[in-house]
Amino acid sequence: MVRVARAGERLIDLTLDSPALGGRGAVRLLTPRGWYRRRHLGARWPTLYLLPGGDGDHLSWTEHHTIHRLTDLRDTLVVMPDMPLYGFSTDWWNHGVGGPPRVETYHLEEVMPLVERHFGAGQRRAVAGESQGGFGALSYSARRPGLFRAAASYSGYVHPLRHPHTVRAGMTYLGMDWLALWGHPVRQRAIWEAHDPVHLAHRLRGLPVHLSCGDGRLGPLDPPGTEPDPDIPGLENPDNPFPEDVYSPTEAIMREENETLAAHLDRVGARLSTHFHPGTHDPAYWSREFRRSLPTLLAALHD
C-alpha cells in the first residue's frame, strides 16, 4: 500500500508498507518539469537517488540542502528514501537470523521498483549520499554493478572495516546492538568486506565517483561559536588521540577512510574526482559538495 501526498510545487511524499523494514517507509520525490502531465503517458526520466545519513531522514535533502531550488534538477526525477536510525544502507545480519531492517532491500528492491513502475523513474540512474548515505551510494554501486551510472559520497563512512570501533561506539552510544549490523569484524570479517567500498573498489572501475570530506577541524562554513562534537565513549583511540584542534572526530576518521578509498580507486581505474577540505561533519558542507558534484552526476544521467 502506498499513500501519496503533495508536499510542495514539485514535491511528492510517499508512505509505503515495507516488509524489508518490518514497518512503514517514507520517500520524498522531487519531480521534473512536465511530470504531472506526462507520467501517466509512460514518460520516464533520468533518476537521481539521494540517500540519508545515520538519522535516516528523507526530508533533509530539501529541508537542509534545499535541492528543490536548483534549476539544474528540473529535468531529473530525484528520489529521497528514508531508513531506520543508524540503518547503514545494509540488510542487517542480526546474528545470522537476518530479517528487518533490510535497508538495501528496501531501497533497491522496494522503493526503486515502485518509483519505476508508478512514478516515472527511468533506468538511467545515479546515486549520492551524506555520511552513512555516502557509504550506501558506493556500497550499492559496487555490490550491484551496472545499476548506477555515477556515485558521490559526502563525508561517507567508506571504509568501516578500518575503524570498526567507530561503528561500535556510535551504535552503543545510541543503545543499539552493534554486532547485529555485520557481526564481529574478525569472526564475521567476510560480511564486513562484502559491504566495505575499499574492499569492493575493483567493482567501481570505470564508474564516475566523487568523494568529498572535511578534516574535522573548523572550516569556512563552521560559524563562530561552533562547539566540538559530543563526546562518544570509545570513538577515540587512547593510544592515538585526536589533535586538540579537531572539533569533529567523526569527520577526522572519515577523512582517513576517504583518502584510503581514493587511493584504491585510483589504482583500479575509477573515474575519480575528490575534494578534501577543512571542515566538520556538518550538513553545510554536504550542501556545498552536492552542488560541486552535481555536474558529474547529471552528465552521467543525461549524456
Number of domains in the chain: 1
- The whole domain housing 22 covers 2-302
pLDDT tens-digit series, residues 168-219: 999 999 999 999 999 999 999 999 999 999 999 999 999 999 999 999 999 9
In this prediction, what percent of the chain has a pLDDT beyond 70?
A: 100
pTM: 0.97
Give 295's Cβ-side CA count (13 Å radius). Answer: 2
65 versus 237: the higher-pLDDT residue is 65
User: CATH number of the domain that 29 lies in?
Assistant: 3.40.50.1820
> Phi/psi of residue 97, each to 5°?
-85, -30
Type of residue numbered 182: W
pLDDT tens-digit series, residues 25-82: 999 999 999 999 999 899 999 999 999 999 999 999 999 999 999 999 999 999 999 9
Angle at 261 between CA 174 and CA 73, to 5 degrees: 80
pLDDT tens-digit series, residues 4-32: 999 999 999 999 999 999 999 999 999 99
> Phi/psi of residue 59, each to 5°?
-95, -10
Judge whether 214 and 248 are in contact, CB under 8 Å.
Answer: yes
pLDDT tens-digit series, residues 134-162: 999 999 999 999 999 999 999 999 999 99
> Phi/psi of residue 124, each to 5°?
-90, 105
DSSP assignment of 201-216? GGGGTTSEEEEEE--S
